[in-house]
Structure 1
Amino acid sequence: MAALPDPTATLTGEGRAIYEDILARRAAKGVHHLGPYIPLLNHPELAKLIEQLGWYYKYESRLPRDVYQFVVLILAKRAKVEFVWEDHVAAARAAGLPEAVTQTVADNGRAFPAPFDLVDQITDCAFAFKSIPQALQDRAVAAFGIDGLLEIVTLCGFYSMMAMVNGCFDVALPSPEARRGT
């Protein structure tokens, strides 16, 4: 097994403060698990910075919540990372992502209604590391603004990184109760 040790019981000083801050911030939003932050806490400063970016995406970004969750579910299916899918599918439904859209993603389908069709095309470009065609970029900016377009693209990168942490270090799925609020 490739799991890293859980350092949380032995953290001291600044590492301990970072751990407690991450726990408190997540608990305040109803999330009672650390998931990939457990292996990341072997490098507390890195864990802190990654968690801050994740916090922004989850709770402060300008994207509509259903679009945010759609991007995460697309990444989960394309990368075949069960943890990310299981950790977000209920939150996607709670955010208003239509069940038909969730099911299409689950089935690896590609026929999505607006605006998810647009987002799907953008994620195709992001995951292929290729330029977004001007007409598609213009449509995305009209729908989500430049900030939203940037968030869609960088969200693909963020959750790719989190999928790598989950996969490389065999992060176990938390209980369904602990996943609430994701």
Structure 2
Amino acid sequence: MASLPDPTATLTGAGRAIYEDILARRQAKGVDHLGPYIPLLNHPQLARLIEQLGYFYKYDSALPRDAYQLVVLILAARSGVTFVWDDHVAAARAAGLPEAVIDAVKTAGGAPSAPLPAPFDTVAGLADAAFAFRSIPEALQAQAISRFGVTGLLELVTLCGFYTMMGMVNACFDVPLPHRKES
């Protein structure tokens, strides 16, 4: 197991302040765990910057929550990083992502063979291009701009990159899922 130590008990000075800020920001939004931020806190300045970007995507971006969660689930299914899937599937449902879309993504390993309903077809098409490091077809880009604006298009593409990084952190350092109470 390639995990890194949990440094939170030994952080001091600026590192301690960064940890407390990350913890407070997440708790204020009802998030009950630090997940990949635990290994990242072995480099507090990097953890701070990554968490700020993640916070933006999760809470301040222009994207509809269902589109955001679809990108995350596509990455999870494509990569096989179960932490990401397990940590986001309930949030995807709560955001209104249809169960049929969730099932199609999971069953197809992140690349549904049948077209998804709008606007999820656009999100999945952008994710396909981004995860394959391909240019976005012109018609798909126009459709994305029509549905989400240029801002949303940029957020969708860069969100693919962000969750690729987070998937790598979770997988490379064997980040465990939080223990949650059964409801």
Query: Are 2:113 and 1:110 aligned?
Result: yes
Match of 1:79 in 2: 79
TM-score w.r.t. the length of structure 1 is 0.95
Aligned pairs for 1:141-180 (under 5 A) are 141-177=145-181
CA shift digits 1:129-168 (9 cap, x unpaired) = 1111111111110010000000110000000000000011
Aligned mate of 1:132, from 127, 131, 136: 136
Alignment of 1:42-121 (within 5 A): 42-108=42-108, 109-111=112-114, 112-121=116-125
CA distance in structure 1 between the aligned counterparts of 2:113 and 2:128, rounded to whole angstroms: 11
Quick one: structure 1 residues 177 and 62, their matched pair in 2 at CA, closer, same or farther if it must change by over 3 Å?
farther
Tell whether 2:161 aligns with 1:123.
no
Q: Aligned-residue CA RMSD in angstroms?
A: 1.4
Say if 2:7 is the partner of 1:13: no
Q: Distance in 1 between matches of 2:124 and 2:92?
A: 15
Task: Note the C-alpha offset of 1:177.
Answer: 4.3
TM-score scaled by length of structure 2: 0.95
Structure 2 gap ranges (5+): none
**Alpha-carbon separation, structure 1, partners of 2:138 and 2:175:** 39
User: What SS is found at the alignment partner of 1:176?
Assistant: coil
Aligned to 2:29: 29
> How many percent of aligned residue pairs carry the same amino acid?
72
Gaps of 5+ in 1: none
Q: Which has the higher contact order (CA 8 A, sep 6+)?
A: 1
